[in-house]
Each structure stands twice: as structure tokens, then as C-alpha cells.
Amino acid sequence: MPLIEWTDRMSVGVEALDSDHQRLIGLLNQLDAIIQGTESEAALPGLVHELVRYTTYHFASEERMMRLARYPGLDEHLRAHTDLRRRIVSFEQKFLTAPGTAADAVPLFEFLSEWLTRHILQEDMRYRPYMVKESA
């Protein structure tokens, strides 16, 4: 059973962004499976890289849509994205320099799972009315 589950209350009203969020949750659940020992630790470096890559892709898409919707909270949202990108890239660089074990990935999982759910449910919900209005 996945540790983090997508619920309808996480929907920002834009199918592409909801799909991205679901993919990120799926990647975090894969990371948890490696930490729990139900998936191979050998997949860890590739998964960490994919988390960084997909997060960067998603942020670019989300930021583009917020600009198009003229979301007034864009600057603050960009700062949150920039901070997260910096943190996960730093983790990836450390991890790839000296590959760690599943136990070494626990801080990344704990940070990202809390950050992502809080970010979707609080920060992303602030742009929802602008996105829904834009797509109407």
C-alpha cells in the first residue's frame, strides 16, 4: 500500500498539473519502497535523479501556467520552488558523489513527502481559482 495517496482534495483543477503531482507522489512511494526494503536498493541512484528531473520539469510547467493565468502570488511561489530545487539538487549531488544506502535516503523522503503534500494542499491551492478561471 502506498504511503502517500492521491486524493481528490489535492486536485488543483488542471489535469496536467494533477497528473504531475500524482507522478511525484508515485516516485516518493517508490523511494519509500526502497527504504522499506520492498524494492531493490540498486534503483536508488536512478530514482533520486528522476525525482530531481521530474520536479524540475513539473515546476517549469506549473510556473508557465501560473504566468499565463497572471497568478498574483507567482513570485512567492517561485521562491518556494527555487528553494526546493536547491535542496534536492544538493542532495542528489551528495548522493551521486558518495552513493548511499536506503537509510541515507530517509531524510530526503521525509523532507519531500512532507513538503510536497503541504505544498499541494496549501501553496498550490492558492492558484487554483486563477487556473480554473483561465481554463474556463
Task: Give, for all 136 residues of the chain, the pLDDT tens digit.
Answer: 568 999 999 999 999 999 999 999 999 999 999 999 999 999 998 999 999 999 999 999 999 999 999 999 999 999 999 999 999 999 888 887 877 788 888 998 999 999 999 999 999 999 999 987 655 5
Domain boundaries, given as residue ranges, for the chain: 15-135
Q: pTM of the entire structure? A: 0.91
Which residue's entry shows cell 510547467? 61
d(CA 68, CA 21): 20
d(CA 36, CA 19): 25
pLDDT for the residue numbered 3: 84
| CATH H-level superfamily of 15-135 | Hemerythrin-like (1.20.120.50)
pLDDT for the residue numbered 102: 87
pLDDT for the residue numbered 35: 94
pLDDT for the residue numbered 94: 82
